[in-house]
Amino acid sequence: MPGYKTDRIASDIQRELASILPSIKDPRVSKLLSIVKVDVSSDLSLARVYISSIEGTEATLSSVKGLASAEGFIKRELSKRLKLRKMPELKFIADDSIAHSAHIMDILNSLKDDQ
């Protein structure tokens, strides 16, 4: 069951990742990334970072690969900014919720235009 501490750490990681991601030089990492959600395990050993790109699913998948290869740099930057005893392992997961919600909006707009 998630507690206050894990929620606070998850929001801290999400905030700091949002400022770190634009500094990554890997060409696979899209510049239009959004961090949808961060889930931290109860023992603080793993942080699942759900990301999505406005550019589509392919850009999100390539960004996940680029972020996985830059995990050492990202963890080092996070450890400089967050004072945690143990920095959680980062696992980047592609999330297509932004593309899915845009698709639903298109469907709703087309229904509205038909009336």
CATH code: domain of residue 25: 3.30.300.20
Residue 1 has pLDDT above 60, yes or no: no
Asked if 74 and 17 touch (Cβ cutoff 8 Å), the reply is yes
Asked if 44 and 84 touch (Cβ cutoff 8 Å), the reply is yes
Residue 6 has pLDDT above 70, yes or no: yes
pLDDT digit string, tens, across residues 50-92: 999 888 888 889 999 999 999 999 999 999 999 888 899 999 9
Q: State both tokens at 38.
A: 């961060």
Burial profile 14-31: b = 16 or more Cβ within 10 angstroms, e = fewer: bebbeebbeebeeebbbe
What range does the domain containing 83 cover?
A: 4-114
**Tell me, what's the pLDDT at 19?**
92
**Tell me, what's the pLDDT at 90?**
94
pLDDT band at 99; cut points 50, 70, 90: confident
Q: How far apart are CA 73 and CA 54, in angstroms?
A: 24
pTM above 0.85, yes or no: no
CA triple 86-35-16, angle to 5 deg: 45
Q: How many domains does the chain have?
A: 1
